[in-house]
Amino acid sequence: MATPIPERESISLPPDGRPMRDQPAWRRDFPIDWPLDHDVERRDFVKFLTLTSFAFVVGQFWITGQSWLRGRALPPGAQRIASTNDLQVGGSLVFEYPARHDTCVLVRVAEADYVAFSQKCTHLSCAVIPKPEEGVFHCPCHEGLFDLRTGRVLAGPPPRPLPRIAIEIQGTDIYAVGVETSMI
């Protein structure tokens, strides 16, 4: 037959006879009844870990919500970013797309060949610097290197390629028309 656990005060009697709530903190933390102490400590720890586990679930669903909102967001519209006359071959130009503070860089790699990428390094968001003569974007913070034409990681700690900005040329005007992200 199972028997319920007695209250702690009824089995742990401090030397001065006062109730446990009147005892100093160190004695409350380390009860006299040491078997009870061990059981309670481990149970409390499991409880704490279960609460942590719940917090992780909340975090997962926060990401899920953000992902859902991102899926419903309208694609960014077209935005004129430069004229073909603004850039020499090998030249670059910084612009903001799709929102303010989303800095991107447009590079003219050949007479009729333009590429644009987000300027934020995918490692820790430092601004990457185009080096058309070497065919790379260079992140000076941790020596990350990205391919100038594809945005793929060539060296350093960045985990993902640079997001590519889709561009369209209409006459002499260059428009940014979308953002393409990829994992590889």
Partner 1 sequence: MAAPRTFSRSQRGPIVTGMLAFVLILVVLQLWLLTATMNAYLGGDDSLVWPAALASVACFLLNAGLLRYLRRMEKTRA
Which residues of the shown chain bind partner 1 in the complex (CB under 8 A)?
Answer: 2-5, 35, 38-39, 42-43, 45-47, 49-50, 52-54, 56-57, 59-61, 63-64, 66-67, 70-71, 122, 159-160, 163, 181-183
**CA dihedral (33, 34, 39, 41) positive or negative:** positive
Q: What minimum distance in Å lies between the beta carbon of 120 and partner 1?
A: 11
The distance of closest approach from Cβ of residue 55 to partner 1 in the complex, given in angstroms and rounded to an integer, is: 9
Nearer to partner 1, 69 or 112 (CB): 69
In angstroms, what is the minimal distance from the CB of 151 to partner 1? 12
Q: Work out how close the CB of 113 gets to partner 1 at its nearest, in angstroms, rounded to a whole number.
A: 25
Do 167 and 177 meet the contact criterion of CB atoms below 8 Å apart? yes
Starting at the earlier edge strand, list the strands of the sheet with 136-139.
129-131, 136-139, 144-147, 153-155
Q: Residue 115 or residue 162: which is nearer to partner 1 going by CB? A: 162
Which backbone phi and psi does 53 adopt, to 5 degrees? -60, -40
HSE (side-chain half, CA atoms, 13 Å) at 118 = 22
* Shortest spacing between CB 66 and partner 1, in angstroms: 7
Q: Which is nearer to partner 1, 132 or 157 (CB)?
A: 157
Of 75 and 159, the one with the shorter C-beta distance to partner 1 is 159
Element (H or E) spanning 139, and its range? strand 136-139
Q: Which is nearer to partner 1, 63 or 112 (CB)?
A: 63
Q: Let me know if 119 is exposed, middle or buried by CB neighbors in 10 A (0-12, 13-18, 19+).
A: buried
